[in-house]
Structure 1
Amino acid sequence: MTGNTAGDSSIPQKRRRVHNHTLPSSLTPPQSLSSTSFLYNDDSTADVILRLYDNSDENPDLSAGADQSDVEIYLHSSVLTRSKYFDALLSDRWQKDIETDSKSKSKVSLEISNGSIDDYVNVLKLLYCDDFTAVISSVSIAISILPIALELLFEDCVKACVKFIEAVPWTEDEERVVISLIPMLKREECDELLARVSPANVNTSEEMLIELLKVAINNLSNMAFAKAFVAKLMRDYSCKESARRVLDRVFLDTLKEVKMSLEEYSRPDFRVDNNETEAMQRLHLHTAMKNGRNLLWIIERMIELGVADRAVVEWTNQDSLPTDLQRAFRDELWRNIVPALPGVVLRCTSKLANVVVSGSILADKKQVRMKLVEDWLPVLRVSKENVSAGMSNYKSLYLELEETFLKITSTLPMSDSQRLLKECLSFSTRNIDDCPHLVTAYNTWFRRAKQHPPPTHPADNISEAHHI
């Protein structure tokens, strides 16, 4: 922003013109909204001639509107004082530096430093307008005007632009411009804009994802579509560690709901009558089923993103849950209320056991792998014993989980696998051909049992042989 006297010879005279450009109607301030009796660019009443010039174009194309780089506009000092910049420039302190023509018009020059000459003209026109709502009618207009209003210290215009920008949606490109303008504003002027583009804390994105996950699995009737949408958000989310924290938290919360429901079912309050007790147990089973399905979906998302480490460990540290499930599956009530509950629970177990076997999640601690089989093998066995004959679709699930348990057992020390393999005899069926996975597991164990252990320190043995 440069205010100086007119008469600068650096701009060729043929490029100077009096500005009479007709702007779009939306940018033309209605005279009825102006409290001044003066008209914009009125030569007959003006007492200030403002020259706008642009020195940024070193090689102007004179054949294509080059006169836009230098214009003169007739203005009124009483109106210009709405801008603190012009108010100071036209004050007595600076009058001696301002050229005056024969008709006592002050001549002032202003170099374009933000946007185009038309943008400056728009702001100058707004000096003649009291109500900006008819003029500032789009974000593009507001963000083109705002930098110039700030430059000219035109506070009313600044407030009007900011108010409009705060209230309407932005495109992505407009948002980038708004963010670049925020540092130019006073703190109290940009609080609302900052709140819109800046998170309240560093975990805001994670909190939002947690809320979306919980809404998708708990509160929506079209859960399948909501889950699919949230799953896509999780896949596209850029920070894997944030996704891990989000899914871990929702997994633990959902697992807690499953556990509480089964605990309430397994330990009913006998102080109430039998009818009420049965009604409450039905409710607990329905709640366990609903949250079990949610838990399975969350586990699938964790595996998809490769962040199921915590889920594997937590699933192996459930002392009461496997016991409560066994008790529930031995009852008759669940079969008519939630017949799919065993399948949901065993699918959760199978999903987590498979990522351990595949190496996708390295459960490097022996006790994690051993406890996964040790705690959940009884649940599998009780489920097989108590699921009705009509639910033959569970056969493939049972076989998959049995094979997975046997593979995990093969990763354990022989003393541990010996103990677990005795528990796996329940995998045997009517004939040997029905359980090849069990045959393979026992053959592997006996083959290893017959082997002589390799030397503990081969290098030491070689050294000893050389010495002899």
Structure 2
Amino acid sequence: MDAPSTIGDRSTSDVVVRLRTQDGRDEWIYCHSNILVEKSKYFADRLSENWPTCQILDSRNCVEVYCQESDFDHHVNVLRLLYVVIDGSVDDLWNGVKNAIGILRVAIELGCPKIVTACVSYLEAVPWEESEEEEILKIIPGLGSQVEPILARLQPVNPSAIRGIFISTLQFAMSSPPSLMNDLKSSAQEQLEYMVTEDDDAPLLIADDDIKSQIKDCVCRLFSRFNNLLEALLCEPTESAGEAGKIELFQSYLADFSWACQLLTKLEIMREFVNSWVDVSDKIVKVMQSSIAVEETKAKLKVVEVVAKVLEAIGYGTVILPTAKRLHMVKVWLPFVRVTKPLIDSIITNDEDCLEFKIDSELWQSLESTFVSIILALPSADQAEILTEWLGNEHVQYPDLTEAFEVWCYRSKVAKRRLSILGGDHHLTNTL
């Protein structure tokens, strides 16, 4: 029985493959025509009688192959793989996805179906980086059924599967798992927001009425658990053994609320959230005032972040509330914010490296502007009451209601003249 042929064995080879690049790289590889012809359509054509050949070096045939410098090593690897039985036993020869992609590209050019199949099997079974996936997508179009395993990983998921994973992820993201799972929950929240965000690509999921209803139900259950926690915190003394755990859970709820606001704002369904927040606002402030724990400052910071988003929805008409509720929100949160800002500022001043207490200055400015907008939309008598309290408060610098004060003064001065045309002068005189 004849010994198996070995690439590079000059004593038995009958053809030389001469690899050349435009950069002058030139390498002669001693091969065997029976292997090249059997396993490569390119070499089968080049070594056929219909293709003119050049006889060199002891009458051996020579096939010149020109390639790019970046593909030179891949050509060598393909020639070596032609000598390997491709039956699934070469999984350790690819040396990573990047190398396998290069081999696949050359195998396609040289018409080596067994190597192409082996490359596809390998690539389908291993993880890719994004850049590698893009390279794969440049290569596989037009290869037909043999690349279906790879395409199966890239095909869009059917809508029902997307809905299923969205709802499952939503329920987990708005649950209250143990603190050890916080990173997992944060990741789930990020992916939910990503799924409904329109960027360079269309959203993965268009939220219909059913999806929005599911989200509202989850928010409702979240507020129910939060309200139960508030009741517990208000009923138990702050020195109780379980207080620290409840405060940690309290902060977790606030983080969930902050994220939920972003999702609900994108989907334009903030109404239920705002109304629920209005209902628990008094309890939240009482909890903040009753605790003496230093860690409460973190909770206060989270409260401010959520309050800013809720008041923004109210102040700019995203959610329409009755006058009484809007006035209530100002009376509850204006004092809280004006006391909390100096507290956080003092911590940052004393410890400039304390990143956990740093808050975007634009948030404070936005919150101030929102208060002005809400106040100016209240009845003038309520505005007067709020402004009077503001001017006599030691924290007059923030929120700065100067703009609201100036507008109130102007409106009050011109009110009689403006409203006299409506025949309401008598009523106006009695109310001002």
Please state which band the TM-score falls in when normalised by the shorter chain. 0.5 to 0.7
Three-state SS of the structure 1 residue aligned to 2:140 is helix
Which of 4, 7, 15 is residue 49 of structure 1 equivalent to?
15
Which of 230, 234, 239 is residue 199 of structure 2 equivalent to?
239
Higher relative contact order (CA 8 A, sep 6+): 1
Cα distance in 2 between the residues matched to 1:100 and 1:343? 84
Contact 1:353 1:404 in 2 (8 A): no
How many percent of aligned residue pairs carry the same amino acid? 16
Deviations 1:206-238 (A, max 9, x none): 969x7799399856538599969998xx99x99
Partner of 1:259: 223
Three-state SS of the structure 1 residue aligned to 2:180 is coil
Q: Structure 1 446/171 Cα, relative in aligned 2: closer, same or farther at 3 Å? A: closer
Q: Structure 1 264/226 Cα, relative in aligned 2: closer, same or farther at 3 Å? A: closer
Give the AA of the match of 1:112. Answer: Y
Partner of 1:28: none
Partner of 2:411: 448
The reply on whether 1:347 has 2:320 as its aligned counterpart is no
Partner of 1:293: 254
Partner of 2:7: 40
Cα distance in 1 between the residues matched to 2:180 and 2:406? 51
Cα distance in 2 between the residues matched to 1:439 and 1:85? 83
Q: Structure 1 220/40 Cα, relative in aligned 2: closer, same or farther at 3 Å? A: same
Matches for 1:29-428 after TM superposition, within 5 Å: 37-42=4-9, 44-46=11-13, 48-52=14-18, 57=22, 67-68=26-27, 71=28, 73-77=30-34, 79-83=35-39, 85=41, 89=45, 95=49, 107=61, 109=63, 111-112=65-66, 119-130=74-85, 131-133=89-91, 135-168=93-126, 174-183=132-141, 185-192=143-150, 195=153, 200=157, 214=173, 220-221=179-180, 223=182, 239=199, 255-261=219-225, 289-290=250-251, 292-295=253-256, 297-298=258-259, 302=262, 310=268, 315-316=273-274, 318=275, 322-323=278-279, 326=282, 347=304, 350-352=307-309, 355=312, 363-364=316-317, 367=320, 370=323, 373-374=326-327, 376-377=329-330, 407-412=372-377, 416-418=378-380, 420-421=382-383, 424=386, 428=389
Contact 2:15 2:62 in 1 (8 A): yes
Q: Structure 1 292/51 Cα, relative in aligned 2: closer, same or farther at 3 Å? A: closer
Q: Structure 1 335/52 Cα, relative in aligned 2: closer, same or farther at 3 Å? A: closer
> What is the RMSD of the two structures over their aligned residues, measured on CA atoms?
6.5
* Aligned-residue offset at 1:364: 5.0
Q: Structure 1 308/408 Cα, relative in aligned 2: closer, same or farther at 3 Å? A: farther
Three-state SS of the structure 2 residue aligned to 1:183 is coil
Cα distance in 2 between the residues matched to 1:432 and 1:86? 90
Partner of 1:271: none
* Aligned-residue offset at 1:75: 1.0
* Aligned-residue offset at 1:83: 1.1
Cα distance in 2 between the residues matched to 1:215 and 1:365? 23
Cα distance in 1 between the residues matched to 2:115 and 2:151? 17
Q: Structure 1 106/435 Cα, relative in aligned 2: closer, same or farther at 3 Å? A: closer
Q: Structure 1 309/125 Cα, relative in aligned 2: closer, same or farther at 3 Å? A: closer
Cα distance in 2 between the residues matched to 1:336 and 1:109? 85
Count, aligned residues: 365
Give the AA of the match of 2:199. Answer: C
Three-state SS of the structure 2 residue aligned to 1:39 is coil
Three-state SS of the structure 2 residue aligned to 1:151 is helix
Q: Structure 1 265/164 Cα, relative in aligned 2: closer, same or farther at 3 Å? A: closer
With structure 1 as the length reference, what TM-score do the two structures score? 0.51
Cα distance in 2 between the residues matched to 1:367 and 1:445? 22
Contact 2:6 2:83 in 1 (8 A): yes
Q: Structure 1 146/447 Cα, relative in aligned 2: closer, same or farther at 3 Å? A: closer
Gaps of at least 5 residues in structure 2 are 233-242, 344-363, 422-432
Gaps of at least 5 residues in structure 1 are 1-34, 269-281, 385-391, 458-468
Q: Structure 1 347/37 Cα, relative in aligned 2: closer, same or farther at 3 Å? A: closer
Q: Structure 1 315/373 Cα, relative in aligned 2: closer, same or farther at 3 Å? A: farther
Contact 1:363 1:369 in 2 (8 A): no
Cα distance in 2 between the residues matched to 1:182 and 1:38? 32
Contact 2:46 2:63 in 1 (8 A): no
Cα distance in 1 between the residues matched to 2:116 and 2:417? 84
